[in-house]
Structure 1
């Protein structure tokens, strides 16, 4: 058997489906069974599940002694990789065995690749199998279990995935799946499967009714070269027939209560070599209407017939001898399937790509716990995604609040249908990515309570249609807080990013007023002191000199340019200086409002050109 590649993928180990993948669910060890099939224990693959041991498995094989039960999440999935384009046979087995002591076997849903498969009805003491055949349309196929009833937890005993020959079941188109209803080896006295059937299909022996006879082939070798679905020779060594050509063989492969489309393979091999006087020829009839050409079984070979028709539990399926037949009809084996609805294409590939980038970036949280299609089937979307109702759904919301995410945000810009992103209360670091502002449908973005740093991209801060929350990021540049970034050449660039999103130059008016007003006050105090001292001195001189005309002397009190004129001129100059500074400041701020993106260097050049500064 071909070797298998094993590696961790999402919430499980993913295996290469070159031949076989057999999970012994609930087991901790790998082993080879009595049929020489290798089994892999799934213990440790899920952190949100439990393994259990059944109380009794009677005569069932060892693989049915354990199971895995899932008590949390909408769905839990196994996944197999490297299967794109492969034709797969998947079998899921369930043996309750009263593992929980409640004598209450549960019911739950099962699906694959976002498609509904079956509602699993388990039994108290009987093994239940479900099997599907389909062509995988992606690199990975997922088989998922989902809880549908309170306190009825999904479980699984074994999961087997087999890659079939691409020529098998060739009448099946790749957009539909086949759900097995029955696979019967007529005339056999025991179940036929691997190693007799290379693909480990299970061929159950049929219980024959009255008037039906089991016959064995006397052919030493039966060739299956002409049978595209490769039936094992062991199911062709026996057949059932009837005693008279006037009678018929009735086949009931387990048609459902409601009418569905049926895919049926029938295998015919003559059990003895006929002489020239003998002829076995018959047709298939559905509700007494012929639906096949005459069937003449070959000796030492097999003839395979494919039929597609609509049937329910009230439908009759008969093999009736032709009028010229000397021998009654016979049949060796039958496979009957119901045909699925058209398979989904899954969630939009752009969203799957974005989700994949998130899972890679936060692999310790998102890859470990989440698998399967994020949107489908629609009742079982991932808890942190919201999806549209389109045939190919789009992811419209991500809710990853308090998911313990750490590290930088990856580029998930391909998810262009997102309307809401909530990443609150994590430990996400690094800058806020620019691509978030380019998401065309984004209306709400909550980045609060993280460790983002640097500026808020203008594409976000200036988007008036976006509800943006960035509080609780201490290293984020908001509210005019200066932030520093390092350019490609290693130099440090400083900028000021106000909360309004536009850069305004800081006002110099408080500095000017705080400097000139005290000087003005001190100046006038000094002037007052000088005037008082001057007047006192003048009075003393007048008393001493009498009428000598001292006032008309150079430097006298009435001389132009004396103390009064000097103080008046100085005071006027100071007042003018305050006015000029105030006007310059007003002009600068008006200019900034008209050119909100002007750099600091423009203001400095303007300062140099102002002769009053």
Structure 2
């Protein structure tokens, strides 16, 4: 038997809510639509203030000034990252958030390095994080195709970024995940890997706070969600997003070779835990006869993993009597839910951990007591990611203070110092196991300027420090708290003052 742990949750509108791991980005046109609804663009200043200060951040990567786009404030990225170079694309007609990128140097194709945006957040808040990429030939004529690289949130590997297919179609690509803030900052990183052949880049970064009820059956203390697909079934217009979706989730149009039903009335959605926008209930996929309906959704093959699935329904047909449309649901011929009564109040069915792999078939069948054919309005599916952990807080604070005491710290000294394991900071070595500590620091010959912060003494798991052949100045701090320190190399610097007498009393120190 499958170990589903599905914890099915059924809610109606009236209830109160008590290979690589890669799916590819979702494609978007990099150019503005020709006929845009003016209501999308103009909002009172209070809405802009609310969106900027209470809901999250909209960061226009590579931009040098603040701008108002689609009625919302987008920030330049200079206050969130110190590495990389701002570049402007020469492609005509791009939407403003794609016309600039931040590009990061690929100095060694065999070296994995991460470059992180660090954003202040509310501890415990749940954030929708969306990264958008449009290459635009930024790496020059020698690289026609965009590079393939990784993206990371805090200490968790999020996904591979491969925008090649979308870019070949003239589209930008976006990736979306849901992560809970574990501290006062979150880092979102672009990272080169061994398969990266030119400079990684990013066009925009969005971090939006979600309501407490959104996806609340996920154990965000140990997991995160990576969006696989989100569709409004039967919808054939533009992507449904903000302001229709107050959290600016993207609902892609989706059509199948089945009937499309248009609704004349739209239900309120205040009772749905995930708060889908009303607009997704304007259309539905259905069958003309009292027969089963099969959907190949998502419309691509999935890697073997565990998935969060949410399906949304509302029967707004004037021709159906109340509670007369009842359906059974199967996913890949395994029962998902039985005897779901559809009404104008709406319903949602969730599975928090459902195993899938390959192509997926969703079958909706009229139940034995149903007088109506099946229908479905919308759906979301996420890969459930296990979090990668975090470096010990004491060590993170100590390294941040050491970084601040250096005038030219390594460019990749942002984000989690030790995690993911393949992306530790330059010169930093960390312990294995659940409690990740910094155990050595080797920055020999890196031309460092500045001083040694006394906080280095808070890295109490250190057994080796190599800082020779730099241009460090100031005094040597008291290192007596480093009980495990065996090796200390500070020669060939510009340090002044006396050598601390405590060094001679450190029993473990054997090389100085």
Q: Counterparts of 1:61 and 1:297 in 2: how far apart (Å)?
A: 41
Q: Counterparts of 2:492 and 2:322 in 1: how far apart (Å)?
A: 91
Three-state SS of the structure 1 residue aligned to 2:186 is strand
Q: TM-score, normalised by structure 2?
A: 0.81
Q: CA deviation at 1:323?
A: 1.5
Taking only aligned residues, the RMSD between alpha carbons, in angstroms, comes to 2.5
Three-state SS of the structure 2 residue aligned to 1:365 is coil
Q: CA deviation at 1:94?
A: 0.9
Note the alpha carbon deviations across 1:416-456, whole angstroms, 9 max, x for none.
1101112224454554333x133121111112233444443
Which of 446, 454, 473 does residue 489 from structure 2 map onto?
A: 446
Q: Counterparts of 1:249 and 1:409 in 2: how far apart (Å)?
A: 63
Q: Counterparts of 2:434 and 2:322 in 1: how far apart (Å)?
A: 60
Which of 393, 407, 411 does residue 349 from structure 1 map onto?
A: 393
Q: Which has the larger Rg?
A: 1
Name 2:95's counterpart in structure 1: 61
1:285 and 1:318 in contact (8 A); partners too: yes
Which of 114, 136, 159 does residue 97 from structure 1 map onto?
A: 136
Query: 5+ residue gaps in structure 2?
Result: 1-46, 108-112
Note the alpha carbon deviations across 1:182-219, whole angstroms, 9 max, x for none.
1111122221111111111111111222xx11111122
Q: Counterparts of 2:136 and 2:473 in 1: how far apart (Å)?
A: 50
Q: Counterparts of 1:247 and 1:293 in 2: how far apart (Å)?
A: 14
Note the alpha carbon deviations across 1:355-402, whole angstroms, 9 max, x for none.
13313433x434976210111111111112111222332111112334
Higher relative contact order (CA 8 A, sep 6+): 2
> In the alignment, is residue 411 of structure 1 matched against residue 460 of structure 2?
no
> In the alignment, is residue 423 of structure 1 matched against residue 467 of structure 2?
yes
Name 1:206's counterpart in structure 2: 254
> In the alignment, is residue 250 of structure 1 matched against residue 295 of structure 2?
yes
Name 1:365's counterpart in structure 2: 408
Note the alpha carbon deviations across 1:91-116, whole angstroms, 9 max, x for none.
11111122323312210011111101
- Going from structure 1 to structure 2, the CA distance change for 1:468 and 1:437 (only over 3 Å counts) comes to farther
Q: How does 1:67-216 map to 2 (within 5 A)?
A: 67-72=101-106, 74-99=113-138, 100-101=140-141, 102-123=143-164, 124=167, 125-148=170-193, 149=195, 151-174=197-220, 175-188=222-235, 189-209=237-257, 212-216=258-262
Q: TM-score, normalised by structure 1?
A: 0.69
Q: How does 1:467-506 map to 2 (within 5 A)?
A: 467-469=510-512
2:320 and 2:372 in contact (8 A); partners too: no
Q: CA deviation at 1:165?
A: 0.7
Q: Counterparts of 1:154 and 1:233 in 2: how far apart (Å)?
A: 38
- Going from structure 1 to structure 2, the CA distance change for 1:415 and 1:256 (only over 3 Å counts) comes to farther
Q: Counterparts of 1:17 and 1:312 in 2: how far apart (Å)?
A: 40
Query: 5+ residue gaps in structure 1?
Result: 6-15, 470-613
Note the alpha carbon deviations across 1:20-67, whole angstroms, 9 max, x for none.
31111222222111x212212225865542233334366x53312222
Which of 427, 434, 457 does residue 384 from structure 1 map onto?
A: 427
Q: Counterparts of 2:455 and 2:97 in 1: how far apart (Å)?
A: 44
Note the alpha carbon deviations across 1:325-383, whole angstroms, 9 max, x for none.
11111111111111112x13311222112213313433x43497621011111111111
- Aligned residues between the structures: 450
- Going from structure 1 to structure 2, the CA distance change for 1:4 and 1:353 (only over 3 Å counts) comes to farther
Note the alpha carbon deviations across 1:140-183, whole angstroms, 9 max, x for none.
11110111135322111111110111111111111111110111
Q: Counterparts of 1:57 and 1:201 in 2: how far apart (Å)?
A: 27
2:447 and 2:471 in contact (8 A); partners too: no
Whose helix fraction is larger, Structure 1's or Structure 2's?
A: 1
